[in-house]
Each structure stands twice: as C-alpha cells, then as structure tokens.
Amino acid sequence: MSFWDVPGVKAGVITGDAAWALLAHAKANGYAIPAFNCTSSSSVNAVLEAGKALGRPVMVQFSEGGAAFMAGKALPNDKGKLQASILGAVAGAQFVRAVAPAYGIPVLVHSDHCAKKLLPWFDGMLEADEAFFKAHGEPLFSSHMLDLSEEVDEENIEICKKYLTRMAPMKLILEMEIGITGGVEDGVDNSGAASEKLYSTPEDVFKVYEGLSPISHMFTIAAAFGNVHGVYKAGNVKLQPELLANFQKYAAEKTGKPNPLFFVFHGGSGSEKSDIATALSSGVVKMNVDTDTQWAYWEGLLNFYKKNEGYLQGQIGNPDGEDKPNKSYYDPRKWVRESELTMCKRVQESCADLKNVN
C-alpha cells in the first residue's frame, strides 16, 4: 500500500489520525521520515523541494533557538517568556502550511528539543495549537517534542503525562526523550554527560509506555542508544542501535503486542548507513538531521563564492572590466538559491538513507 492510500494523507501539512497513520505506515514498511531543522523560509523551501523531487513525505521542525531566529534576532526573547521563540515557531508553522500544498507532498511540522527551562515556549505553541484547533478542527503543528532527559525519569514522565493530557484532545503527537543525546545542539551542551545516560534500558523505555499509553497512543520515544548531536570522526561515537530491538522485545513481552514502540533517532547527522538500517528494522519512524544540512546549506554559498570571487568584491568592477556591474552575482536570490540546491540534495540523501524513496 502506498502512503497515499493511508486515510487522511494529502498534500500539505497533516495532523492527528492521518499523521499518526503515516508514521505507522513507515514503521510497517521499513522506512522512516527524516526531520530537518529549519531557521528560515529558504531552508524550509529546500526541504520541501527535496520532498517534491522524490514524491515522498518530509518533516520540517523548529528548535527554540531556530524559531527565535525565524522571528528575527532583534525581537525580545526574555527568559521565562521566550516570546520571539513562540512567535517564530508559530510563524514558521504557518509558512509551511501556506506553501506545502503546492509541493504536492504530505508534510509534518514539528517543534524540536524543549528542555524544562524552555517550557514557556512549549506552552505558547500549545496555545497557538488550541486557537487553531478551535478555528479549524486540527492543531497548527503535527507534533511537539519534550526533552526532559536532564530530569530524573519519574519527573520526566510525569511532566510528559501532563502535557500529553492537554495535547490528546487535539490528537497532537508527543515526542519525548528518555536518556540523553550527547554533544552540543542549539545551545544545549551534553558533551560531559555520563556514558551510562547515553544508553537507555528496556525498563526505562517501558516506563514511558506505561505512563503515556493510557492517555494517548500518539507518542514517540527518542530512546538513547549512544546518540550524539553533531558530526565526529569515525569511532568517536559508539552507537548501539541494536538496543532498540531489545526495547521492542521487552515491551512486546510485557504487552502481548508485537513491536508496540515508535522510536525516533536523534543525532542522525554523520551516522553510519549500517546503523541507520539497524535502527529502521527496530521501529524508528523519524530521524533528526541538522548538522549535515547546515553544512550543505553553507557549502552551496562557499562554492558559489569560490566560482565567482572576482565578481563579488564590489558593486562595480570585475574581471570583465573596471566599470562592469556585479548586481547579478550579489543579488541574494543568486547565492541563497545555491545554498538551497545543495541543502536539497542533502535532504534527498537522508531520505534515501531512511528508505523514504519510491
């Protein structure tokens, strides 16, 4: 069955039962949907363009810092209020909603890591979801992530339960993290985390299932199996994706249901193809990609500059003559477009890695 045959799936942003059914289709058919952190309409467009080229679903996600950038760095973003982050995430989601149908593919719009200190951001987005739901019968976003992995597991799960209770009437999907993703991402530094925190246990993961499933089945788990944000030399990151199969087996034995867990792969940039394949076979339905696409976006600009350096030193004067204008080279539409093209190519590579191809 094609993903187009999944009930409710359409071109544009999908939410609720349709979004969850698409994740279930991915799980049943051995692929996952990559989620890309975006900070501008340009990076959003690069993701959507890749999805259009492949004819496959994609996810656009905004981090708290990325959302603030989306709104504009000149705006106040006070601690405890995070008003620019709220505005940027809402504006980003509305932009995706406006343009995604034209690309002819299903799109999920998501908010990334939200630590305890960032909960005002989460609250603001949920208020926007509730207002949109009241007006349109669906939330603004498809899903949100709570990353309370720095807290003790009991508090992590209790806060997730509280928010999932609020999200469930809108059929919003919750992504939660148990165990820590190492490295540094968006100002959150887990580079000094204890090694044991980088690997969840079957018991840890099943506690999440026990806590959340009575409220709603619409949740995914970013379980730790050695994941690290960023890209490192080979051997520096010791992923153990085979742990995910152990988590599934333990949960299946406890519930009597085959493969009941929906997993998210964090720190996907720079991962070995074999590790991605192992994760897919164990119920991963989403993988986050940020560092690799950041580099790809920059590389487009870098290559453009190298190729046209002589035409980018001033408004007038280039290798063709001292009085020749350079507007056609420094026009942002030229060099920003080159960044979009290289990012689009890298997005397609992630889709291929996750078997999210026709």
Looking at 3.30.67.10, 3.40.50.1820, 3.30.360.10, 3.20.20.70, the CATH number of the domain 3-292 comes to 3.20.20.70
pLDDT for position 275 = 82
- Domain spans, the chain: 3-292
What is the total residue count of the chain?
Answer: 358
Give φ, ψ of 169 to 5 degrees: -60, -25
CB environment 329-358: b (16+ within 10 A), e (fewer): beeeeebbebbbbbbbbbbbbbbebbebee
Nearest to 260 by CA among 333, 297, 205: 205
pLDDT for position 194 = 46
Q: In this structure, are residues 348 and 56 in contact, taking their beta carbons and an 8 Å threshold?
A: no
112 flagged as catalytic? yes
pLDDT for position 121 = 98
pLDDT for position 170 = 98
Per-residue pLDDT reduced to its tens digit, 27-38:
999 999 999 999
| Cα–Cα distance, 143 to 20 (Å, whole number) | 10
| Radius of gyration for the alpha carbons in the chain, expressed in angstroms and rounded | 21
Give 226's Cβ-side CA count (13 Å radius): 15
| Residue ranges for the chain with pLDDT beneath 70 | 180-197, 227-237, 268-271
pLDDT for position 240 = 82
pLDDT for position 233 = 44
Per-residue pLDDT reduced to its tens digit, 276-322:
888 899 999 999 999 999 999 999 999 999 999 999 999 999 999 99
pLDDT for position 227 = 65
Q: Which residues pair with 176 in a beta bridge?
A: 146, 221
> Given 5, 17, 78, 112, which residue is catalytic?
112
